[in-house]
Amino acid sequence: MLRAISLFSGCGGSDLGLTSLGVRVTWATDIWQPACDNYSLNMHATEVVCADIQNIKHFPSAEVMIGCYPCQGFSQAGRRDPTDDINQLFRHFGRALRRVKPLGFIVENVVGMTFGHNRELLHQQLALFRWSGYDVHWRLLDARDYGLAQERKRVFIVGTRKDLRLQYAYPKPTHQPGGRRPWTAQRVALKGFPLWPEGDYDPQPLSWYYMSRRRRRDWDETAPCVVSHSRSVALHPVSPSMRFVGPDEYQFITKGPARRYSYLECAALQGFPRSFRWVDGSLPLKYRLVGNAVPPPLMKAVAAPLVRLLT
């Protein structure tokens, strides 16, 4: 059985995808205590170290290493400052690579990494990982193409140790519009949830900025990208339809109550099983845990070809 260690693990979405392939995640780390607590609540066989990666000097042995370093510096919704220190956390992933020397690794990050000045940061990461002894490739993937009922585009970097001379191939899409298996509608992912789950969704008023975008999609469409800030979470399809009325302005077509997705619905759109547990805490905290996570089925899709190569 392959062993894996996980850096910048969050609540455990990426690791859940890896364990579903039979990989044993022995060790995980994150700096945010609620994420560590939520991880431990569900992944009992993994040692969880809650610490700043910069202070971790030793890493356990493993055949696989995964990491999803924070994305605020790359995010379209973030500061997008190439000089931000948070953009340099990939160097600690590289440091761990050189210490552990796993057979292969996987990194996930936001699509903003491919834009403008951030593209140079992407190239720096690829160069560092290659210098560390790995054949490295990257690709932009959309969760909709792999069965999730959510539009979510993310960059995945996969590397295999050069001495192994392996050829990793990214998974082909399993779902496509008009294909034998079309994109999954959000009605499928949300089936069985109550339409008005009081206390589980952010009830704050919808600001003018919120109404500047089409925040609602129909039941038979995929959902918009799940985000980590509760006020920015998209509208549930039980809400009235929206229409464009001018630059940066949408209105509801009919009167009636509207609401954001609940945090549990966001978790379902991310591909978490409904048995996955969430720590007690505020709604914003739960939304953040869910929105920052890697969808487990997407990590499973990316990791499956690597696991086959290494076993």
DSSP state of 222: P
Tell me how far the alpha carbon of residue 180 is from its chain's centroid: 26
Contact present, 269 and 222 (Cβ < 8 Å): no
Evaluate the CA torsion angle 263, 264, 268, 273 in order and state its sign: positive
Extract the tokens encoding 12: 């455990």
DSSP-derived secondary structure for 276-308:
----S--HHHHHHHHHTSPPHHHHHHHHHHHHH
The CA distances from residue 277 to 81, 147, 206, 280, in Å, are 35, 22, 29, 10
Extract the tokens encoding 268: 């379902």
Catalytic position from the list 11, 68, 71, 266: 71
Contact present, 21 and 42 (Cβ < 8 Å): no
Phi, psi at residue 272, to the nearest 5°? -75, 140
Neighbours of 212 (CB within 10 A): 13
* Helix orientation angle between 283-291 and 33-42, rounded to the nearest 10 degrees: 70
Neighbours of 56 (CB within 10 A): 15
Extract the tokens encoding 61: 């042995």
Active site residue 71: yes
Neighbours of 179 (CB within 10 A): 11
Catalytic site positions: 71
